[in-house]
Structure 1
Amino acid sequence: MISLFFAFAFSFLLIPRSYCAVSWNATPFNPAAVPLAVRSPYLSAWLAQGEGTALNAGWPTFWTGSILGPIEPNDLVNQSLPFSYLAVSAAPNDGKTHSVQLYSDISAEWVSGDDSLVVNWTTTTGSIITHQVQLEQQTVFGEVNDRIQQGSAYYSTLNSTQATFQTGEDVVVRAQFINNGVLTNTQDTNFRAVSDQWPVFALAHNLGNISASTTPVVYSVGHVRDPAIEYIIANDATQNRSLLFWTRFSSVANAISAFLADFNGAKARADAFDAQVNADASQISSDYASVVALSVRQGFGAIEITTSKESNGNFNTSDVMVFMKEISSDGNVNTVDVIFPSWPLFLYTNPSIGKSLLLPLFEYQATGQYPNAWSVHDMGSHYPQALGHNDGNDEPMPLEESGNMLIMTLSYVQKTNDISLITSYFSLLDQWTQFLVAEALIPANQISTDDFAGSLANQTNLAIKGIVGIKAMSEIAALVGDTARSSNYSSIATSYVQQWQIFATSSDGKHLTLSYGNDSSWGLSYNMYADKLLNTNVFPSSVFDMQTAWYSTVANEFGVPLDTRHTYTKSDWEMWTAALVTSTSVRDLLISSVRKYAADGLSSQPLGDWYETTNGAVEGFRARPVVGGHLALLALPATTGSVTTETPQNSSGVYSGSEISVRLSLVRVFVGLIAALVVRVIV
């Protein structure tokens, strides 16, 4: 008998430890951490890889690194479902018949960031077996170590005469299966702390005697809470918002049933999406396609799609808002300068998701509760509480966020021909533009989105954003028939560019400076991408050519530094820069640098966007949605355009021993996660 324990992942060929060293090849490359179940800020499970941790030698972890031992962009209800799939099939690779039993479990570590807290659980049976586990004492909207302290984890599979279940201490339950090949169909009712004899919730299937590939055994894993978001509305009141899937399903059980039944359809949609994204990205390069494949799921893993209830208790299906967590930094809600670098992902996959990300910001500021003349930085200091900043003391990025809102709004309108945002919030957009007119040409000492680099006066790149923002408002005004305002803002933008060129170009004429007058400084002028995205052509082509030539002279082994203050860079801004340069070779240099960093095997954390160009070392960020910016080249007007099927992830991997192959078919956005998986093979 061969019993194989491993924390599952995807697209890997493994040799059991009892035979030889583990080795495999991943497609398109072996990432620092494999995204297993990455569906929301709280269903975000990864398997650390680094230089190649064996899949049977590591535990799945939350994005923070704690042990737990992205998609349907055109169906927002499906995308809002907080569940992932795991599908396992087996096939002999020696031409013989074998008796095979399959075991998997999740642990109580799924439901808290504090393992000392008490949990309880229950198991329901019928056509589906479902384990449900939750904290005994919950805190609505509360977090511990970025883990929500509210709601329940669910682990389910279709019931059959060959399926068994058990709950109890991890070593006891797993030993039961290893020794007997079945579980006892019993429940441990000794509710206790997560770390007290480590309760697990197990499912087993007897696949019987197999001589050919089996039909996949399908599991679902998820985390559900309600309400999901607390959102500020007029008069400093708050509104509880629910995930959108509740508009279709009356209970979690109904949602799980429909989710499991849809596996084949979901996999087909995922495969189609994968093929479309790969085809579009491969037109640029194979390196680009490989980076995009990893980035899409991570970007979607930071958002939740919500709706509100009417006074009669019914869901208001016309009120859809999307909320994004600023993962791995300060946990803000709908941070404008985090949405902004992520924006290409939504423009490419489904711009309506982008609109729904902007709506909470527009709606809040339209109530008049935010006192500043510029755009708010975020919707709240701590996800999932979008409580605004009525005191005006949000992180001060006035020029940054005002330009971002104008640019994103116009790009949405251009992509969809939907003018509802600009007609509803025209006065706000104009207010922010007036601020840019006053402040953009010679920026005051302030921080930009790259706040970790510190504040700086006269930032060349920040001025670019402000000028493009003014030009964007000219286009917005034209779209609503305000020709006088349009002409005025267009003239201002043109005048500013002429002055800006004098301020921002080094005395030798070889590059733009980081800040006006500092000839020895330079940086990635990634904000010029917005001029190309919007097709506003406010900056002359000579500036694009100059920067393109410069970047090839200052590249390090892992890319071009963000600016001359440090040798680190940001992968999202490198991709934005790749989309604006005028040389294919420089474009490919930037793309390949990001790919090299992502695949270098020096990290074991979810993909970080902030890293060292000298050696590929991660600077600190991880699992952030800003990697959606890696799709910058796909979001440009000249590209294929939005895809219309489901989000990709390469979908399968093979565990190959000497007697049996076990195929893990993981629909990429609906990837499942387990604490342990055991395959019991009797020769």
Structure 2
Amino acid sequence: MRSWTYLSSLLLASAAGVQAITWTATPFNPASIPLAVRTPYLSAWLPQGAGAALNDAWPTFWTGSTLGWAGFVKVDGTSYVFLGTPAVSGTTFSKAVQKSSKFTSTQSIFVLSAGPVDITVTFLSPVEPTDLVKQSIPFSYMAVSAAATDGKSHTVQVYSDISAEWVSGDVGLTVNWNSTTSGAILTHQVQLSSPSVFAENSDHTQYGSAFYSTTNTVGATYQTGSDVSVRAAFINNGKLANTLDTGFRAINNNWPVFGLAHDLGTITTATVPCTQNRNLYFLSSFPTSASVISSFLGDYSAALSRANTFDAKVQTDAGKISADYAAVVALSIRQAFAATELTVSKTSAGAFNTTDVILFMKEISSDGNVNTVDVIFPAWPIFLYTNPNLGKYLLEGLFRYQASGQYPNKWSVHDLGASYPKALGHNDGKDEKMPVEESGNMIIMALSYAQKTGDSSHLQRYTTLLDQWTQFLITDGLIPADQISTDDFAGSLANQTNLAIKGIVGIGAMAQIQSLLGNTAKSSNYSAIATSYVTQWQKFATSTTGAHLTLSYGDPGSWGLSYNLYGDKLLKLNLFPAAVYNERKSAHFPFLSKSEGLNRNCMTHSECRSTLDTPYTKSDWQIWTAAIVTTTAVRDTMIGAVKKWVSDGQSNAPFGDLYDTVSGAAVGFRARPGTMHFYFSIGSITVTFPLVVGGHLALLTL
């Protein structure tokens, strides 16, 4: 991916047609979006109304008067307009299709599709209140980048101009201009021929100049002249003529514009935030395959010694729970780590950058997604137990991608890419939608890492993102809309009791995050919301008899493992009262136990939420639930059921997680590390399931 940047200063433009939005708007679609907004005279906006794309309207000054600001991109010889609504006679071009818009405190970001290429247009008006020099500079940025969406290479050229409308509110006044075309920067400067100091016209300044600048890189071209001629030069040729019009005239006399263009060359698919090849970490220490092989073989005795020490520690720690638990954990550890790869980047000089570490996890036995959040989450205990920094490295890629602004949704992304090892993100926002699940997961994991290590760097660096997800949980967490959770095999369901727990714990976790960051008022606010939600949730989620929690609100005959309470215990939030853990859970479990485990969503063999008449359970969530029950006997029964299943001889596949609680037959997962999705069929029904053997260490992290 290659990008270009303009610097510009001064004024604004008018609205064209308005339509209902067909793109993702984050956080919402405002009446007008700021583009270049720095001073009373540099104040350019996109008038949105009910919904105008970046190329549905001319930018306007804050008063509503038009500011000529046009943008085109040429992809493989085909031209598309992405900014403004220019009409250029004698040319042919199409409109780029807007896919998303997003605004933050300082930026407005638009993603538009130009055939097989997406362009991202970022308008940045810096806010620098603690630096008086920077805050007083009357300039704003527009950056344009391009990325292929079809995995192929494409030639791309980009163009933009401003008109003389930026220097006065009276388009009948005469202007003059000059351009600097040598050196590191290309600059157009335009001003009134007869300025009037300290005067205004329709709130526009009547003195000073408008500057339009870009870096003078290879492939950069420029041109001044009438709007039609300059824009046509780019549309027809993909570049400008490097000519300057010296016929100074009135603003509305053949509308003089000041154009700049860049040839981006050949671009390919973008990643996070641009294509980057990463390297396995060990390569930073071994220059050749021969050297690593020699070292590995020569290290056997020492490696065995370290392994024995590690094994002994796990056996001792897990054995304090039970022998069955120690056995389950021992069988889980290698499998969990086997789905990950530890990587580093290289510096511009080609050296390995061991300070830039990202751990990637493949969603095995499923669709092969990269760093699926609801796969990492159930596997999370193994990283907290063995090395919490590995958890940080897993989250880093997810945080970094979403902080780049390329993911358009207000909740957390589901994964980093649909096909391992290509972590290409989901800039279209069409990843698998688990909004409450993934948002809660990210907040909970971020806090648990900080609590475990004392390292709050992620919390500080990504506070805005974490807060954004928390705001979503406040809206949708207590009474979740119809959606899927990590148990996506069961289909979507509204008002999920267990999913609401995830949302509430996420809000409570954000209260602790704000407290760690010293934001007392925000912490108190989030804490109060979480506490209030728990009270309301108890009324919604309890069966009419008061004996147990329901699968979903208003369905008193339903039941499900409320394993998301584990987050409350892990983070030591103590949001949920003891009664939730005691009477309504532990006391009810024995009546639902089957020969090899608890039905995850079933009251009896036939009363299952799933359309399948199968009394199934999942080993990871069963172990998580065992970690929070208050009765040792119930805990050991649940663990023993998992041990019995994995050792009953009915399967020759690696440790799965989904199985029939009566027959003990594995339903489909194989060799999965953390939660991962896979497919199985019964008759004509095909569903997906998530699994996480790393989650079997849940008791060790408490």
TM range (shorter): 0.5 to 0.7
Matched letter for residue 540 of structure 2? F
Residue 394 (str. 1) matches residue 435 (str. 2): no
Partner residue in 1 for 2:313: 276
TM-score (norm 2): 0.57
Displacement of 1:231 in angstroms is 8.2
Distance in 1 (alpha carbons) for counterparts of 2:590 and 2:629: 11
SS of the residue aligned with 2:279?
strand
Partner residue in 1 for 2:695: 629
Displacement of 1:329 in angstroms is 1.2
Distance in 2 (alpha carbons) for counterparts of 1:431 and 1:464: 19
SS of the residue aligned with 1:238?
coil
Partner residue in 2 for 1:535: 572
SS of the residue aligned with 1:305?
strand
2:592 to 554, 561, 566: 554
Distance in 1 (alpha carbons) for counterparts of 2:599 and 2:421: 34
Structure number with larger C-alpha Rg? 2
Higher relative contact order (CA 8 A, sep 6+): 1
Partner residue in 1 for 2:459: 422
Distance in 2 (alpha carbons) for counterparts of 1:231 and 1:250: 29
Matched letter for residue 550 of structure 1? H
Aligned-CA RMSD value: 1.1
Displacement of 1:233 in angstroms is 2.4
Residue 569 (str. 1) matches residue 614 (str. 2): no
SS of the residue aligned with 1:582?
coil
Matched letter for residue 506 of structure 2? G
Matched letter for residue 577 of structure 1? T
Distance in 2 (alpha carbons) for counterparts of 1:487 and 1:330: 41
Matched letter for residue 607 of structure 1? F
Matched letter for residue 554 of structure 1? L
Per-residue CA deviations over 1:175-194 (Å, capped at 9, x if unaligned) read xxxxxxxxxxxxxxxxxxxx
Residue 617 (str. 1) matches residue 665 (str. 2): yes
Residue 605 (str. 1) matches residue 657 (str. 2): no
Distance in 1 (alpha carbons) for counterparts of 2:433 and 2:563: 21
TM-score (norm 1): 0.59
Q: How does 1:374-453 map to 2 (within 5 A)?
A: 374-453=411-490
Residue 580 (str. 1) matches residue 619 (str. 2): no
Partner residue in 2 for 1:664: none
Matched letter for residue 568 of structure 1? Y
Q: 1:384 to 1:329 in 2, by over 3 A?
A: same
8 A contact 1:515–1:521 mirrored in 2: yes
2:271 to 214, 218, 232: 232
Distance in 1 (alpha carbons) for counterparts of 2:278 and 2:577: 46
Q: How does 1:176-575 map to 2 (within 5 A)?
A: 232-234=271-273, 237-545=274-582, 546-564=584-602, 565=608, 566-575=614-623
Displacement of 1:567 in angstroms is 1.1
SS of the residue aligned with 1:520?
coil
Distance in 2 (alpha carbons) for counterparts of 1:417 and 1:315: 27
Per-residue CA deviations over 1:232-281 (Å, capped at 9, x if unaligned) read 222xx210001000000001110000000100000000000000000000
Consecutive unaligned residues in structure 2, runs of 5 or more: 1-150, 152-268, 603-607, 609-613, 674-691
8 A contact 2:272–2:425 mirrored in 1: no
Matched letter for residue 452 of structure 2? K
Where do 4+ consecutive residues of structure 1 move more than 4 Å?
Answer: none
Displacement of 1:553 in angstroms is 1.1
Distance in 2 (alpha carbons) for counterparts of 1:372 and 1:241: 27
Displacement of 1:330 in angstroms is 1.1
8 A contact 2:497–2:541 mirrored in 1: yes
Per-residue CA deviations over 1:399-449 (Å, capped at 9, x if unaligned) read 000000011111101100000010010000000000000001101000000
Per-residue CA deviations over 1:131-154 (Å, capped at 9, x if unaligned) read xxxxxxxxxxx9xxxxxxxxxxxx
What count of residue pairs does the alignment treat as equivalent? Answer: 406
Matched letter for residue 556 of structure 1? K
Matched letter for residue 515 of structure 2? A
Partner residue in 2 for 1:594: 642
8 A contact 1:231–1:385 mirrored in 2: no
Distance in 2 (alpha carbons) for counterparts of 1:353 and 1:535: 22
Partner residue in 1 for 2:684: none
Matched letter for residue 540 of structure 1? P
Distance in 1 (alpha carbons) for counterparts of 2:661 and 2:367: 24
Distance in 1 (alpha carbons) for counterparts of 2:270 and 2:344: 11
Per-residue CA deviations over 1:368-403 (Å, capped at 9, x if unaligned) read 000000000000001001100000000000000000
SS of the residue aligned with 2:588?
helix
Displacement of 1:471 in angstroms is 0.1
Displacement of 1:452 in angstroms is 0.5
SS of the residue aligned with 2:492?
coil
Distance in 2 (alpha carbons) for counterparts of 1:539 and 1:506: 17
Per-residue CA deviations over 1:331-359 (Å, capped at 9, x if unaligned) read 10000000000000000000000000000
8 A contact 2:272–2:423 mirrored in 1: no
